[in-house]
Structure 1
């Protein structure tokens, strides 16, 4: 197995690099140290399993979240407020009246990295130090992301972090999977009996609801387009899927299939936020991407409708660990 990298630019007085992990079957994974971004997943037949911009240089020019490690929070916080005890921490309001995706978050930063190759795995470790007060989040935070490829076509992705102050942390990888096709044509199975309905602004409204008799029932395999075309107010209000599915603990969490390929996902996260790329419209640097061309499974704690963010609160020096594995066939 092999690792390599090329320098393609420079930003914030740091080198921008494209890192390549290659296994013995010829599968390649390309990772950018800009945003700890999963850029491409290339099967031995050359098919790219995820949505990608046309060239590495494009990622830092326009924020599309494609493959990025989004944080410190991936998702929305109502009114940007986190209340703990009698204290309220106010996060920047960057989506109307709410906070989304960590402000100018860690997916927009240049990370340090080191490579490591063995007979049975190739990996890159990426590191970023996010200082106290960054985007109004308390705590100096050291964040470590691992991307590791093996000879069974498993791509492991981990986020590890620690803060020196009480803080909130709920990041996720934001890769859009396509399996070389438009995501709306893919078949999907998710081990989730409940989902979280949201208001028109994407904020949860009522806690969990059963997926039974809704567009969000993927307990048995069905096409993604079957959900997108359903007569469901939740789908209509968000122009597609943009909802947390609460995992029931059975493995695998997600199975996504095309005619020729399959992606199987396992994770230690309690939920996946499923987003079908509703906003893409062949414009800007993502001009090669249209609506519903890709689908995300953001492994994280589900968002809530209020300011009690206890589930994503980290104590000082408490270790955070999120694990995801995508297997490609």
Structure 2
């Protein structure tokens, strides 16, 4: 196992963590961005399985949030405002009339403080950041730590820890776009995905939750027994049309199965298993990916990646009946998501 550091654009540092199996993950201190994950297919070929820019300069804008840590609140906040303890807080409207992924100066734009570490069978990075009261419009002085751990079982654990001196909304996630075909050889339409969820959240025309939970049964949102993502790309149901002919929806986990989600690319044999203590996740299938982006291995196009954004839902700021995103003052936010990479030998 080893950790390599490389200075990028004379201002950032990219860390590459390599385990004893020769598999690696690369992370920037800027935005905590995962730029590359190298894992083998069934023939042993090491290839990249996340979307990343060919030129690091493109991460400075990064409008699609490739690989980034997202906060303070991942997802869309209706009307770019919320009420808390009798006070209305106004946020940046950076997605039409709404607030998206912490705003244009959210955590994806922060240069994080980084400490590397090595354990017996794992190595990792501890990223830390202090977000001041009213940073991005949010209340409270917030201390945040995000710990990436890459082990010899080919598991990437992401631990999120935070505390605030005021009540504040907090819903952190990582926004990596996965493509298990390797080096972007194909879109994710043939990825077989399983999700332990009976309900997803309905969206309006602005991709804002309506407050309604819809049953997945009998629809292309039913991933309980597994289905290929193309089922949603080809369907003409209103919820797919709203999301530009794909998925951009929050799934509420049942937490009955041993894992929360699984993705399999049958051609390469690569598998991705997701376990988390978050109450659900946004499944996003890159439905509006610009065609003019130079990615590391290929030009961008729709459905070239899939995000599994494990988090609590910002819908709870405006609707009842959803898991809460409010972190009470003086309490600790402590969440974990584990991405496990494997190979189906069939």
TM-score normalised per structure 1: 0.94
- Displacement of 1:251 in angstroms is 2.3
Unmatched 5+ stretches in structure 2? none
Unmatched 5+ stretches in structure 1? none
Within a 5 Å distance, the mapping from 1:224-263 to structure 2 comes to 224-239=229-244, 240-249=246-255, 250-259=257-266, 260-263=269-272
Of residues 53-62 and 219-228 in structure 1, the stretch that sits farther from structure 2 once superposed is: 53-62
CA contact (8 A) 1:147 1:157 kept: yes
Within a 5 Å distance, the mapping from 1:69-148 to structure 2 comes to 69-103=69-103, 104-148=105-149
Instruction: Determine the C-alpha separation between the residues in 2 that align with 1:83 and 1:281.
Output: 34
Residue aligning to 1:290: 301
- Displacement of 1:61 in angstroms is 4.0
Provide the secondary structure at the position in 1 that maps to 2:72.
coil
> Is 2:317 aligned against 1:317?
no
- Displacement of 1:84 in angstroms is 2.3
Within the candidate set 35, 38, 43, 1:42 is matched to 38
CA contact (8 A) 1:76 1:203 kept: yes
Instruction: Determine the C-alpha separation between the residues in 2 that align with 1:75 and 1:273.
Output: 8
Within a 5 Å distance, the mapping from 1:16-31 to structure 2 comes to 16-31=12-27
CA contact (8 A) 2:38 2:48 kept: yes
Residue aligning to 1:212: 217
- Displacement of 1:308 in angstroms is 5.6
CA RMSD, Structure 1 to Structure 2 (Å): 1.6
Provide the secondary structure at the position in 1 that maps to 2:223.
coil
Within the candidate set 176, 183, 195, 1:190 is matched to 195
Residue deviations 1:298-326 (CA, integer Å, cap 9, x gap): 01112317636881111112111120001
Give the count of matched residue pairs. 325
> Is 2:38 aligned against 1:32?
no
TM-score normalised per structure 2: 0.90
Residue deviations 1:241-280 (CA, integer Å, cap 9, x gap): 1000111002211100002200000001101101100111
- Displacement of 1:281 in angstroms is 2.9
Within the candidate set 283, 298, 323, 1:274 is matched to 283
Instruction: Determine the C-alpha separation between the residues in 2 that align with 1:93 and 1:301.
Output: 21
Instruction: Determine the C-alpha separation between the residues in 1 that align with 2:125 and 2:85.
Output: 40
- Displacement of 1:118 in angstroms is 2.8
Instruction: Determine the C-alpha separation between the residues in 2 that align with 1:322 and 1:305.
Output: 18
> Is 2:168 aligned against 1:157?
no
Residue deviations 1:82-132 (CA, integer Å, cap 9, x gap): 112421111121111111111120101111101112330010111111111
Instruction: Determine the C-alpha separation between the residues in 1 that align with 2:170 and 2:334.
Output: 11
- Displacement of 1:55 in angstroms is 3.5
